């Protein structure tokens, strides 16, 4: 083995470790508000009947931050490199999470979650882009599977930290982990494909509007976004609002959103691995995604039809719902594989954040249907609608498994 190959393999291993740990911290910081929502809002003086409304305001601000950050970090990643985005994004969201531990009113809470969301937007897209460009086209699916399988366990860590420590300390812990991770990233090497693209001065890099330069490219990008719409609906509404849904179902006890999120993400961790393996074995990411979409709508219907639900049944269903939406890494890998090196970070970073930000209009739709019908009927309608849109988009996308990524968009 020559030195060049050894260095390459060592860098790939370092990229996988750092990307996995980065996603772990990313998910921890992304879900920590959902876990400490009730406790933290009551602690800063919000009345019990206003907790749900204040919580939706804050989570929507966080999601708006993710959308804004997707534009910022995606274009920077294609212009100046994937590593700079990794460093900048984690520094921003780590500092923001530490600041969140000091809030005393709803508006400050929301503004800081907006800033944290901007920072969180860059982590996963840059990490997956680095992994995809650093590994062989036959094995990169295993790489993204490892990143996601380890990363989503950050939600379980968030639950246990919030369970045993105050909500303020839970935010301090997330920020501290991010700053420690920043030190580990010293020594990582930039993507070779990106370096190659930078030498060609005629290639336009990191121009978001190039994604819409042709109808075909624009639809390719829109389909990439649509194939993952149900994920954040399941986590951000159906699990986060478990206490309210449980009440409507006549639950024997109040359902714990924090426990539900933990079990959901443990299920997601396993789902990410299985989704990745199905894609590798079948050599089709589209098949893997279709299987999980169908599975998710079935499990959600079982949840919404669980009259008299017990905490034990909710725990099982939360795990299964998490498993059934465990295709986040597969979706981001598809987005990464659809575009050339000069737009890859832009697409891979903005697409997942559009999906996360889509929770805002989905929330408005859900709330409209709750007022028009009831919370259970709203749950069914929105899940079926989002799944139908996702399956249509998946059908329209071309298979990308094994695609050579060393190309640019003109």
- Please, what are the domains in the chain? 3-184+211-396 (1.20.1250.20)
The dihedral over CA atoms of 343, 229, 30, 259, expressed in degrees to the nearest 10, equals -150
More confident residue, 255 or 211: 255
On the question of pLDDT at 173 being above 50, the answer is: yes
Residue 191 pLDDT > 80: no
pLDDT bin (cut points 50, 70, 90) of residue 233 is: very high
> In the prediction, which pLDDT does 7 show?
40
What pTM, to 2 d.p., does this model score? 0.77
Span of 66-80, 279-293, 390-404 with lowest mean pLDDT: 66-80
Q: What is the mean pLDDT of residues 150-155?
A: 81
Over range 10-27, report the average pLDDT: 81
CB atoms within 10 A of CB 283: 12
Alpha helices, H only, 135-256: 140-151, 154-164, 167-184, 192-198, 215-226, 229-233, 242-248
- The residue whose two tokens read 């989002």 is 386
Residue 113 confidence class, pLDDT cut points 50, 70, 90: very high
**Residue 402: pLDDT above 80?**
no
More confident residue, 231 or 80: 231
Q: Which residue has the higher pLDDT, 199 or 175?
A: 175
3 vs 230: which has the higher pLDDT = 230
Structure-derived torsion over alpha carbons of residues 236, 240, 246, 249, reported in degrees to the nearest 10: -10
The better pLDDT of the pair 188, 317 is held by 317
């Amino acid at each position: 083995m020559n030195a060049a190959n050894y260095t390459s393999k060592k860098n790939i291993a370092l990229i996988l470790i750092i990307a996995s740990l980065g996603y772990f911290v990313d998910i921890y910081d992304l879900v920590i508000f959902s876990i400490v929502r009730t406790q933290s809002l009551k602690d800063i003086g919000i009345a019990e009947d206003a907790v749900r409304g204040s919580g939706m305001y804050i989570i929507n601000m966080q999601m708006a931050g993710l959308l804004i950050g997707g534009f910022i970090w995606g274009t920077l990643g294609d212009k100046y490199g994937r590593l700079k985005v990794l460093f900048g994004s984690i520094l921003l969201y780590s500092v923001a999470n530490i600041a969140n531990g000091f809030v005393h009113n709803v508006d400050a809470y929301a503004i800081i979650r907006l800033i944290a969301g901007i920072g969180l937007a860059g982590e996963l897209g840059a990490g997956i882009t680095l992994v995809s460009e650093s590994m062989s086209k036959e094995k990169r699916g295993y790489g993204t599977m490892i990143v996601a399988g380890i990363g989503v366990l950050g939600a379980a860590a968030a639950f246990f930290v919030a369970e045993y420590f105050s909500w303020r300390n839970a935010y301090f812990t997330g920020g501290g982990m991010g700053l420690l991770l920043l030190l580990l990233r010293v020594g990582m090497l930039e993507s070779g494909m990106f370096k190659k693209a930078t030498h060609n001065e005629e290639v336009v890099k990191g121009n978001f509007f190039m994604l819409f330069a042709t109808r075909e490219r624009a639809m390719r990008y829109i389909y990439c976004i649509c194939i993952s719409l149900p994920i954040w609906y399941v986590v951000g509404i159906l699990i986060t609002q478990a206490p309210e849904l449980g009440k409507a179902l006549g639950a024997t006890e109040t359902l714990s959103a924090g426990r539900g999120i933990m079990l959901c993400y443990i299920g997601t961790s396993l789902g990410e691995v299985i989704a990745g393996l199905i894609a590798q074995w079948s050599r089709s990411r589209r098949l893997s995604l279709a299987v999980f979409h169908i599975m998710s709508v079935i499990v959600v219907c079982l949840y919404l039809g669980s009259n008299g639900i017990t905490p034990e049944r909710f725990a099982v269903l939360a795990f299964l719902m998490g498993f059934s939406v465990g295709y986040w890494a597969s979706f981001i890998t598809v987005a990464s594989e659809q575009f050339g090196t000069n737009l890859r970070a832009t697409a891979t970073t903005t697409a997942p954040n559009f999906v996360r930000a889509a929770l805002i209009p989905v929330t408005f739709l859900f709330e409209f249907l709750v007022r028009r019908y009831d919370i259970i009927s709203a749950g069914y309608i929105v899940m079926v609608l989002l799944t139908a849109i996702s399956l249509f988009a998946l059908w329209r996308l071309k298979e990308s498994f094994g695609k050579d990524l060393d190309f640019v968009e003109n």
